[in-house]
Structure 1
Amino acid sequence: MVYIHGGAYAFGSATDPVCDGARLAEQGAVVVTVNHRLNAFGYLYLAGIHPGFPDSGNAGQLDLILALLWVRRNIAAFGGDANRVTTFGDSGGGAKVTTLLAMPQAAGLLHRAATMSGQQVTVSGPLNATRRTRAFLAHLGMSERDLSALLTSPSERVLEGLAAVDPVHGGPVYFGPVLDHANLSRHPFWPDPHPQSLAIPLMTGNARDEMRAFVDPDSPFVREMSWDNLANRIGDELPVDVSPQWIVAEYRRQLPTASPADIYFTATTAGRSWRGQLEVAEARARAGRPSWVYQVDFTSRADPRRGAFHCIDLPLVFGTFDMPGADTGSDAAVRLMSRTMQSRFLAFARHGDPNLSDAPAWPVYDLVRRATMVFDVNSRTQDNPRAWQRELFARAPYRQPGS
């Protein structure tokens, strides 16, 4: 089981104690966690301004290819099976996993894939990536005609460029994989799944309250949430071009007792995080390829106000719920939830199918039932969960953030 850490493409580390693989290894898995180049070091696309750097926009992904090559060549010495390699990742790690599915260099190096609250439907095009590179260099006061200053700068100086304003979407400049027509010749899941990925079984999951991970429940942002400012705040978070006022009206109609804050977190989770996962699952279903979809409803025992927050599944799958930063709590219910999720991930890694003889059946996802495993105190399969929210946001095309 090869774990790729989250943190978008900008930060994070496999040394985080929450992704310590010891407890998975106790269950018979051989666990590999990897680091790789990030942000400008891994994804600054220089090929648009200089022919000498053809792979620059995907260097971080190529690091992951090298890690998988190492696994193929060496994992038998650690008791692993080079023909049963499962790549899995949370958040940005899930996006990196789905990007690997579209990279020709990854062919034959992975045999199952699992994404946890993260996916990559489309990647940045070369024109937008070049615009970002120019904004990055301009912020550093460097010329695009002579890259010697960049190439000889210490890492601390390079990192100063991350404060540049993104010329495409605003906010801090984005770096991620690039459609360079070599390492990535097409988008991973647009207009359909990359053909290379079709033979690889996929597990893909999302948490019910994803967006609660990003906002302190005691913050002024939450305390000052009102019906007057709710639409604007929702609009700032949506990668789909729909009227936020209309979104608020529909949510108030469906959830008449919900507070503004409740609607903010529910709507932004459905429209931003969950929507990307649905794009991947639906594309696989249309292609007739097996995917197993899950939703985490299990609520944090450490702070129930955060609900089932973004990446709550990570410490549950690794069994690291008692590590700093897990934020799940560690009572008997948490331990049982962890054993349940671990068993499903381990079954998937062993057999390419998460079903177990002594647990509820988990059907392959299709566009009729939309069967979803809901992980909670009493885990169960549910058909078409959050149906009205899915249908609401499906009225507009999805745009992968950073594309």
Structure 2
Amino acid sequence: MNMNLSPIINTVAGKLQGKAENDCFNFKGIPYGESTGGVNRFKPPVPKAPWQGVLEAVNYGNSAPQGILKMGGANAAAKVDNAEVNGVIQAMLDLAGLSAIPVQFDEDCLYLNVFTSGTDNKKRPVMVWLHGGGFSVGSSASVAFDGSFLCKKEGVVVVTLNHRLGAAGFLNLGEFDEAFADAANAGMLDIVLALKWVQQHIAAFGGDPGNVTIFGQSGGGRKVSVLMAMPEAQGLFHKAIVQSGSAERIIPLAASKKVSQLVADKLGITKDNASKFQELPLYEIFKVVSEVEFPVNNFSSVVAPAVDGRNVLTDPFYPKAPADSANIPLLIGTDLNEMTTFLIGNPLWLNYSEEQARQHAARVVKVGDKAYSFYKQLLPDASPAYVLEAVLSDATYWYGSVVTAESKSKQQAAPVFMYRMDYQSSALGKCLKSPHGIEIPFVFGNTEFGEEILAKGPSRDRLTAVMSNAWANFARSGNPSSAQLQWPAYTTTDRKTMIFNDPIELVNDPEHERRMFWEANYF
């Protein structure tokens, strides 16, 4: 027997074999659904049909066709005339798993990967990772999401997966053809199918189907939030972690329909010839979507999960948390300086005049001008760039996480644990501070992969050990605490928040003044 191969696993769909590497068994490119192209495009996913023989699960499967990621009025992958800055942009994309990857992009994209330390019956906790990239880009095929560290250090089973993105996953076409009634949330239904696969098969990989945690960052965190409000997803997971990706509200049905109608008009498609949506090359539809969706909403993509009345019945966490997932413990948090990741590609970065920064804030935040004035008073020594960053970071990420945590806490059915990542990137003289995505390598234990962003040193190693253990402890028991880290639940009485830095500290109601501002101005 080849010692580099895993044991052969028997699943309902057929036999498969992965690799033995990094002291784990890694199974990559396991198909959980049929191709989403052709007659399956814009329809709910179809479970993978059984196969004959032994499937070699040693390479990542196809990734979903990609849209455009835009946040805060900025293209996340924008480049500037500065090689060092561009190198850091690329490193940040790598860190978040959003860079170019050595796989094909294809509508046959419903594949998942399993990392486990044993294919026995020990019933290890299962952690299912949902990648970021808004709902437009991203893939599980990234070394940033390699689960080997977690599976061998913490004894958990890690599952990562691909699903439909952009127009293929979220273009609301229900009014054009009843067959497309689920198109607005097709990508989310892909994830539900993957979670059903976990329930059916993960025991063969040494995992416990009765102890599944879903976790994700950025768009992945938003996917976790939406799943908590999807009736069909209930019972498929038992704990949830949202990293920089609250979704207290999602796309209104009217905005979702407006973009779809604009797309149809540009393509010359009506109810009478709706089958053209399945016949056109997918890239043509993606191209048209990119031309029409951002004028509808300059801030971020509108082609994303919507309250469609079928699969998602209400906004996930506003005005209250979903009753269906009331008993699901939640761990949620953000990075202190989220928006530096997106603003670094702006040629004005660090050179904003006050007027330019104020105009940027007003363009992408409903109360941006008012917020800029308030934050300028709070941060009198900050440059216009960092006042802008603080406004956008809090409006885009932090306060939504507060709303989610407080909505969940008020249910008094399951605990909520709140964190904030303050550890600063070493890149570019630390001008990024604590950017969007910086916690990912600490959680996965893959900090060596991001050394352009995270300098080597004992503080980095200590934080990796603590954070990866806390996430795994939460997956085990619904409580991230350990002998080294006493982490009490978040309540609206004291708002205890774990601040991850060197040193780590527990703070009551951090940024109280900012929270009170948004409490009065957010909705």
Same fold, TM-score > 0.5, yes or no = yes
CA shift in 2, pair 1:172/1:200, >3 Å = closer
Shift of the 172–371 alpha-carbon distance from structure 1 to 2, 3 Å rule, reads closer
- Match of residue 380 from structure 2: 256
Partners of 1:358 and 1:334 lie apart in 2 by 16
Amino acid at match of 2:247: Q
CA shift in 2, pair 1:72/1:281, >3 Å: same
CA RMSD of aligned residues (A): 1.8
- 1:390 aligns with 515
Residue 229 (structure 1) shift: 2.0
Offset of residue 157 of structure 1: 2.1
Residues 397/101 of structure 1: CA separation in 2 closer, same or farther (3 Å cut) = same
1:401 equivalent in structure 2: none
Deviation of residue 35 (structure 1)? 0.4
3-state SS in 2 of match to 1:33: strand
Deviation at 1:79, TM superposition (A): 0.7
Is 1:312–1:326's contact at 8 Å kept on the other side of the alignment? no
| C-alpha deviation, 1:25, in angstroms | 0.9
What's the TM-score once normalised by structure 2's chain length?
A: 0.72
* Counterpart for residue 103 of structure 2: none
Tell whether 2:164 aligns with 1:37: yes
**SS of the residue aligned with 1:206?**
strand
Q: 192, 203, 224: which one pairs with 1:76?
A: 203
The counterpart of 1:369, out of the listed 478, 494, 506, is 494
Return closer, same or farther for 1:363/1:173 CA change in 2, 3 Å cut-off. closer
Alignment map for 1:50-129 (pairs within 5 Å): 50-129=177-256
Structure 2 match to 1:181? 309
Match of 1:298 in 2: 423
* Match for residue 438 of structure 2 among 306, 312, 326: 312
Structure 1 pair 148–292 and aligned structure 2 pair: CA distance change class (3 A): same
> Using a 3 Å threshold, how does the CA distance of structure 1 residues 179 and 251 change in structure 2: closer, same or farther?
closer
Instruction: Label 1:374 to 1:108 Cα distance change in 2 as closer, same or farther (>3 A).
Output: same
1: CA distance, partners of 2:162 / 2:511: 35
Alignment-mate amino acid for residue 177 of structure 1: P
The yes-or-no answer on 1:212 pairing with 2:340 is yes
Cα–Cα, structure 1 residues 356 and 123, in superposed 2: closer, same or farther, change >3 Å? same
1:286 to 410, 418, 421: 410
Q: Read off the aligned partner of 2:175 and give its amino acid letter.
A: G
1:353 to 472, 479, 490: 479
Whole-angstrom distance in 1 between the partners of 2:372 and 2:232: 45
Q: CA deviation at 1:51?
A: 2.0
Report the alpha carbon displacement of residue 6 of structure 1 after superposing the two structures with TM: 0.5
Question: Secondary structure at the residue paired with 1:394?
Answer: helix
- Rate the CA distance shift 1:171–1:97 in 2: closer, same or farther, 3 A: closer
TM-score by length of 1: 0.93
Distance 1:257 1:301 in 2: 22
Contact kept in structure 1, 2:246 and 2:397, CA below 8 Å = no
SS of equivalent to 1:157 = helix
For the 8 Å contact 1:136–1:173, the answer to whether it is kept is no
Query: In the TM superposition, what whole-angstrom CA distance separates every residue of 1:205-263 from its partner, at most 9, and x where no partner exists?
Result: 1000000111227x53124301222211112232xx32x33323322222221111121
Structure 1 position 325, deviation (Å): 8.5
Q: Which runs of 5+ in 1 are unaligned?
A: 399-403
Could you tell me which residue of structure 2 aligns to residue 8 of structure 1?
134
1:20: Cα distance to partner? 1.0
- Aligned residues with identical type, % of pairs: 32
8 Å contact from structure 2 (residues 226, 247) kept in 1: yes
Please say if 1:169 is aligned against 2:297. Answer: yes
Q: Distance in 2 between matches of 1:78 and 1:173?
A: 37
* Deviates most, 84-93 or 39-48: 39-48
Counterpart code for 2:185: N
Amino acid at match of 1:201: P
2-side partners of 1:249 and 1:172: how far apart? 24
SS in 2 for 1:115: strand
Which residue of 1 is the match for residue 369 of structure 2?
245
- Alignment CA distance shift 1:371-1:326 (3 Å): farther
Q: Which amino acid aligns with 1:278?
A: V
- Sort the Cα spacing of 1:351 and 1:174 in 2 relative to 1 into closer, same or farther, 3 A: same
Contact 2:341–2:436 (Cα < 8 Å) also in 1: yes
Shift of 1:390: 1.1
Count of equivalent residues: 393
Higher relative contact order structure (alpha carbons within 8 Å, sequence separation ≥ 6): 1
| Distance in structure 2 (CA, Å) of the matches to 1:397 and 1:248 | 14
Mapped to 1, the partners of 2:373 and 2:299 lie a distance apart of 28
Most deviating of 376-385 and 47-56: 47-56
> Which residue of 195, 209, 223 corresponds with 2:323?
195
The structure that is strand-richer by fraction is 2
Gaps of 5+ in 2: 1-126
Contact 1:208 1:309 survives alignment (8 Å): yes
Instruction: Indicate if the aligned counterparts of 2:163 and 2:190 stay in contact, CA closer than 8 A.
Output: yes
> Which residue identity lines up with residue 283 of structure 2 in the other structure?
E
- Do structure 1's residue 46 and structure 2's residue 170 form an aligned pair? no
Structure (1 or 2) with the larger CA radius of gyration: 2
Q: Give 1:171 shift.
A: 6.7
CA spacing shift, 1:4–1:196, aligned 2, 3 Å: same
1:325–1:69 distance in 2 versus 1, CA, 3 Å: farther
